[in-house]
Every structure is written in C-alpha cells, then in structure tokens.
Amino acid sequence: MPTNNDSILFPPQASTFAQDVDALYYFIHYLSVFFWVGIVAAIVYFVWRYKRGHREGVGPSHNLPMELTWSIIPLILVIAVFLWGFKGFMGMSRAPSGAEQIQVTGKKWLWNFEYPNGQQAIGELHVEVNKPYKLIMTSEDVIHSFFVPSFRNKMDVVPGRITTFWFEPTMVGEQQVFCTEYCGDGHSDMLAKIVVHTPEDYAKWVEENQKEDTTTPLPELGEKLYTSKACFTCHSTDGSVKVGPTFQGLFGKQEQLTTGQTVPVDEEYLRESILQPNAKVVQGYQPVMPTYQGQLSDREVSGLIEYIKTL
Ligand code: CUA
C-alpha cells in the first residue's frame, strides 16, 4: 500500500483533504512552539534581570511600538489561521457536482450503505480511488458520528435530519470508519470500512457483487452473512450475552417474549425475527434490532437460519 506520508502523529493521508488539514495542524503546532519558547525565555530573562538588588531604576511603563507589535503580529497570525481553516472547511462542506451519491444510515450499532443502484451493504463501502463520493447520511435512532481518520473528515449523523460528508480517496486500501458519538452499549463496535479499489478492481467487484451467490452451501452462506451483515455486533455464537440473544443453542428452544407468551424457535420464527425483528421481542431484551427486509434475499435468510441451526 503506497503511503505518501508516514507520520507517527497521524494516520495515512488517504483523501484530498488530508494534506491541507495536516499542514494547518503543523502550522499551528510550530507557531505555538515558537511563541512558547520565546515567552518562557523572556520570563527566565526577566526573572534574572529584575531580581531583587539587580533593578536599575524604574523602566518605562509605556512603549507604543512594542505594544503595537505584540498586538498586530498575533492579529495577523490568527486571521491567517482563520482564513486557512475556513477555506478548508468550505472545501469539505461542498461536494463537487459530479460526486457519486451514497445513502448512509446509522443505527444502533451499524452503518448501512446504499449504492445508487439500490444495492445495500452493512459495515462496508466499496469505492474507486481518485473519484469523489458524497455520503447522504441520516440516523434511525440516536445521534451517531461518521469519522474516517485517514480522510481527515467527520460528520454528525442525526435522526430526522440529513447531513453530508464527501471525500475523494487518493490511496488504494481499507480505511477505517468509527462512530464518534457515544450511542449506547455497542458504540465501540459501531465500525465500518471503506474499501478503496483501483478502477480495474472496482469493476471486478461490481461484477462479482451484482450476481447473487447461488452456489455456496446454505450454512456456509449464513456464516459469511453473520460477519458481513454485522450480526456479530449483537448476537454471539458462544453463548455469551450481548445486546441480543446468543445464537448458540437457539434453534429448537422455547423463547419467552416480552408479552409473556412463549414461542418455539423454528424456521418461521427466525425468518420473522430477521425481517420484522420487533414483532416478537424476547423477554429481557430491548426492541433495537433493525429490519433486514430488502437487504437479504430469500436464499440468504435461509442461509442464516441454517447457520443458526448448526450452533
Ligand atoms: Cu453510533 Cu456511537
């Protein structure tokens, strides 16, 4: 993976914004170091120069040229920092008109991406290097925040509102997405990755992902989906309790619902729980699972059910 800047302070510079953001950061940093050194040196000098017994008469109480200097130079510097930062901020706020639009939905605790052709994916966005993308983002529940450190961009994702985030990746490889607004138990697991491809690899990916997988055996397909659809965020396969019931030993069990009713865990119950998760909520759990209606084919739903049966 080519990196154009290896730094111990920052993740790689993987978008068109990164260089400018880092340059401004370093400018403010070294400016602060310069003044810190100067001010500390002056303090040390004055302590020595005017210590008791060393004072030679009374110094001037007013010096116009000096006062103007220490007012005007910092003023010019803060205006420069403001203009530089404002220019960068405006550049990040407005996506170029040709940018490819991706719909992003944040919900506890996953990121859902919808491509222009309607195809959806959880936790993984595939893009092409050196092309602009505009994410149109909203939340289904609470405030989340979409942060890609290597792109040097971050934006809140707010229920009932639409916010946007654009980027042009400059580096091939996987970039990490974090949620940076505390949103509950699964906050730290609310991750996603942006996979940046070369144009050739992207074309290959599009071709492979537009045809449905009809060859992988069902339990194996389900196991893959358990990871790719981020089921693992809330459901364990080893019996441990997470946000949702564990998948271990789930099939064939009797579940007590919040309504007091008891239902057997069979194929139909699992299918309903995947597509209309809040129709039957198990006692002791919150109705927080998002629906997978429209995101899984019938064969994929069957795959998940067959996978759960093996646990
Ligand atoms: Cu979503 Cu924190």
pLDDT value, residue 288 = 81
Please state whether the peptide bond connecting residue 36 to the residue before it is cis, i.e. omega within 30 degrees of 0: no
pLDDT tens-digit readout, 81-131 = 999 999 999 999 989 999 999 999 999 889 999 998 888 888 999 999 999
Indicate the pLDDT class of residue 3, thresholds 50, 70 and 90. Answer: very low
Q: What is the DSSP secondary structure assignment for residue 200, as one 8-state letter?
A: H
- CATH homologous superfamily of 100-209 equals Cupredoxins -  blue copper proteins (2.60.40.420)
CA of 180 to the centre of ligand 1 (A): 6
From the CB of 187, is ligand 1 less than 6 Å away?
yes
Question: φ, ψ for residue 128 (rounded to 5)?
Answer: -105, 140
Average pLDDT for residues 147-172, to the nearest whole number? 95
Higher pLDDT, 229 or 183: 183
Can you give the pLDDT at residue 56? 64
Picking from 256, 262, 245, 213, the residue whose alpha carbon sits closest to that of residue 311 is 245
| CA nearest to 15, candidates 174, 195, 168, 177 | 168
Q: In the prediction, which pLDDT does 188 show? A: 93
Give me the residue spans of the domains in the chain: 18-52+62-93, 100-209, 218-310
> pLDDT confidence of 14, banded at 50, 70, 90?
very high
Cα dist from 66 to 61, 73, 74, 77, 125, whole Å: 11, 11, 13, 17, 57
DSSP string, 26-81: HHHHHHHHHHHHHHHHHHHHHHHHTSTTT--S---S--HHHHHHHHHHHHHHHHHH
Question: Could you give the CA distance from residue 293 to residue 137 in angstroms, rounded to a whole number?
Answer: 20
> For 35-67, how does the pLDDT look when each residue is reduced to its tens digit (9 = 90+)?
999 999 999 998 888 887 766 666 667 889 989
Look at residue 58 in the predicted model and tell me its pLDDT: 64
Which residue, by CA, sits nearest to atom 1 of ligand 1? 144
Task: Summarize pLDDT for 239-270 with one digit per residue, the tens.
Answer: 888 888 899 888 888 888 888 888 889 888 89
Model pLDDT, residue 5:
53
Q: Is 188 in the pocket of ligand 1 (CB under 6 A)?
A: no
Per-residue tokens: 228 = 């790719």
pLDDT at site 55: 64
CATH architecture for the domain at 218-310: Orthogonal Bundle (1.10)
Residue with tokens 């639409």: 162
Q: Ligand 1 within 6 A of 181 CB?
A: yes
Residues 6+ apart with CB under 8 A from 134: 95, 99, 100, 101, 102, 164, 165, 166
Q: Is 144 in the pocket of ligand 1 (CB under 6 A)?
A: yes
Summarised one tens digit per residue, pLDDT across range 65-91 is 989 998 999 999 999 999 999 999 999
Evaluate if pTM is beyond 0.85. Answer: no
The alpha carbon of 154 and the centre of ligand 1 are apart by a number of angstroms equal to: 13
Work out the pLDDT band at 2, boundaries 50, 70, 90: very low
Instruction: Measure the CA–CA gap between 73 and 64, rounded to whole angstroms.
Output: 14
